[in-house]
Amino acid sequence: MKGILISFEGIDGSGKSTQAKLLEQYFRSAGRNVILLREPGGTVVGERIRAILLDRAHDDMTPLTEVFLYLAARAQITVQCIVPALERGDIVIMDRFRDSTTVYQGFARGLGMDKMNRLNEIATGGITPDITFLIDSETSHALSRVGGSPDRLESEGVAFMESVRDGFLKLCETEGSRVKYIDGNQDIETVGKDVRIIVERFLSGQKS
């Protein structure tokens, strides 16, 4: 496919959503065709699944139920939005994608990272981001940024989020060629600059 797929990952409150929006603005200002999508969500079906997943009333949801809901939303957004955009040659920015399931459910929930990778292959048709940014932040710092009423996952507590962060760091170690570590404890402008430097290097490599 002609397009580029970029994803942002990190624990809740890490600042990944802010950086995804800033990168979208950067590409738009450069005249590039770009779309920003979020997971779960991005489609009518996906947004309804998102509402179920994040509703604190569903605190009895089993890990397997959780993962299959995420995968269902991912399968929908992949076929409906991501593949057509990549075929057009657009840049697709994802606020979370397949790595979130690998880490949240595979590592933190204990379902197995390899198993989640196999399920992700089915849900995405084998599509993997060209670049994934791990916006890493100290757990206490990240959770302090979560405003309003926390959703079901944000309510899991510090121990769960610490496990999620450990999973993302492990992923960064094993897939360092794709997953780029960014220190999310820095100010927003510095983080954004770090992201853009990596993106510009990637784009330069494509042209050479």
Q: Where do the structural domains in the chain lie, given as residue ranges? A: 4-207
Express each pLDDT in 112-166 by its tens digit: 999 999 999 999 999 999 999 999 999 988 888 887 788 999 888 899 999 999 9
- Predicted TM-score (pTM) of the model is 0.95
Express each pLDDT in 24-53 by its tens digit: 999 999 999 999 999 999 999 999 999 999
Express each pLDDT in 81-104 by its tens digit: 999 999 999 999 999 999 999 999
DSSP string covering 160-199: HHHHHHHHHHHHHHHTTTTEEEEETTS-HHHHHHHHHHHH
The burial of 12, by beta-carbon neighbours within 10 Å (0-12 exposed, 13-18 middle, 19 or more buried), is given as buried
Token pair recorded at residue 45? 């079906």
Q: CA 143, CA 162: separation in Å to the nearest integer?
A: 11
Query: How would residue 208 be classed by pLDDT, with cut points 50, 70 and 90?
Result: very low
Interacting residues of 4 by C-beta distance below 8 A, sequence separation 6+: 86, 91, 92, 130, 131, 202, 203, 206
Q: Which CATH class is domain 4-207?
A: alpha beta
